[in-house]
């Protein structure tokens, strides 16, 4: 099978089903991330939501038989509410975090990944896949960064040139040898505003978040 043209087919199909960005990376170990995760654990900077087994987080072959590639997807969420109801003295309105508007993002991304899995399996009999969104073993950001979805920013988010950081991420491990994409260059440069103004000080330094502070406040 010509993997390059199949990759293009997968990209085209992803657009059809409303995936905003897609990238491909190898399934090799996330070696740099490992040290990072150990350090976060030692410092007690973790949130408790992370997969506890660090080896599983950084070595895809521990959670999938003979992995060859990982597909990363990003879905943008709206950052502005059209015709937002005004809060008035007699009719007070609360403000919900924009990331919580609409259907739970886990459901939305899982459904898109399922469609993508069905498409791949239909075209390539014997294709194996394992998808995850947020609650899986892998670091969704580390996958997205390596697959060229965006850069790993100082505020610790993956920032895309198109949608900023307002994207949710999902991953699919496969046994197909898709050609990997290139990671994107860091675009934070010397800007340090997020760290300087972080109201709780949870951003300890560029790229490092102390979750225990973030969750306490």
Contact range with ligand B12 by CB under 6 A, out of 17-25, 111-119, 180-188, 201-209: 201-209
Distance CA 22, CA 144 (A): 9
Contact 203, 156 (CB under 8 A): yes
Number of residues that bind ligand B12 (CB under 6 A): 34
CA distances from 215 to 163, 167, 192, 202 (A): 25, 21, 22, 9
Interaction pattern, residues 157-176, with ligand B12; x per rule: CB under 6 A: xx------x-xxx-------
CA distances from 142 to 57, 124, 146, 159, 169 (A): 10, 27, 6, 12, 10
DSSP-assigned letter for residue 156 = S
* C-beta neighbour count of 192 within 10 angstroms: 13
Q: What is the CA radius of gyration of the chain?
A: 19
Interaction pattern, residues 133-162, with ligand B12; x per rule: CB under 6 A: xx-x--xxxx--x------x--xxxx----
Distance CA 52, CA 48 (A): 8
φ and ψ of 175, to 5 deg: -100, 20
What is the smallest separation between the CB atom of 215 and ligand B12, expressed in angstroms? Answer: 6
From the candidates 20, 118, 134, 140, which is the catalytic residue?
Answer: 134
Q: Is 186 a catalytic residue?
A: no
Does the footprint of ligand B12 cover residue 211 (CB under 6 A)?
yes
What is the smallest separation between the CB atom of 178 and ligand B12, expressed in angstroms? Answer: 20
What is the smallest separation between the CB atom of 95 and ligand B12, expressed in angstroms? Answer: 13
Does the footprint of ligand B12 cover residue 63 (CB under 6 A)?
no
Distance CA 194, CA 198 (A): 6
What is the smallest separation between the CB atom of 159 and ligand B12, expressed in angstroms? Answer: 7
Does the footprint of ligand B12 cover residue 22 (CB under 6 A)?
no
What is the smallest separation between the CB atom of 199 and ligand B12, expressed in angstroms? Answer: 12
Contact 66, 177 (CB under 8 A): no
Which residues of this chain interact with ligand B12, rule CB under 6 A? Answer: 32-33, 36-37, 40, 47, 49-50, 97, 99, 133-134, 136, 139-142, 145, 152, 155-158, 165, 167-169, 206-209, 211, 214-215
Catalytic residue list: 134
């Amino acid at each position: 099978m010509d993997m390059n043209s199949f990759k293009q087919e997968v990209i085209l199909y992803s657009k059809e089903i409303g995936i905003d960005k897609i990238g491909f990376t190898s399934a090799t170990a996330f070696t740099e991330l490992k040290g990072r995760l150990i350090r976060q654990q030692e410092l007690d900077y973790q949130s408790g939501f992370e997969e506890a087994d660090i080896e599983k987080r950084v070595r895809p072959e521990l959670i999938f038989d003979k992995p060859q590639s990982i597909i990363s997807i990003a879905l943008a969420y709206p950052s502005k509410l059209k015709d937002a109801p005004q809060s008035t003295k007699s009719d007070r309105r609360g403000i919900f975090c924009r990331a919580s508007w609409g259907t739970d993002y886990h459901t939305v991304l899982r459904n898109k990944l399922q469609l993508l899995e069905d498409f791949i399996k239909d075209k390539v009999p014997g294709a194996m896949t394992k998808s995850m969104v947020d609650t899986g073993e892998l670091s969704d950001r580390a996958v997205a960064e390596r697959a060229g979805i965006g850069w790993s920013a100082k505020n610790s988010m993956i920032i895309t040139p198109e949608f900023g950081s307002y994207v949710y991420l999902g991953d699919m491990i496969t046994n197909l040898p898709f050609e990997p994409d290139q990671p994107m260059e860091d675009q934070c440069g010397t800007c340090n505003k997020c760290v300087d103004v972080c109201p709780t000080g949870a951003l300890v330094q560029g790229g490092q978040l102390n979750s225990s502070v973030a969750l306490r406040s």
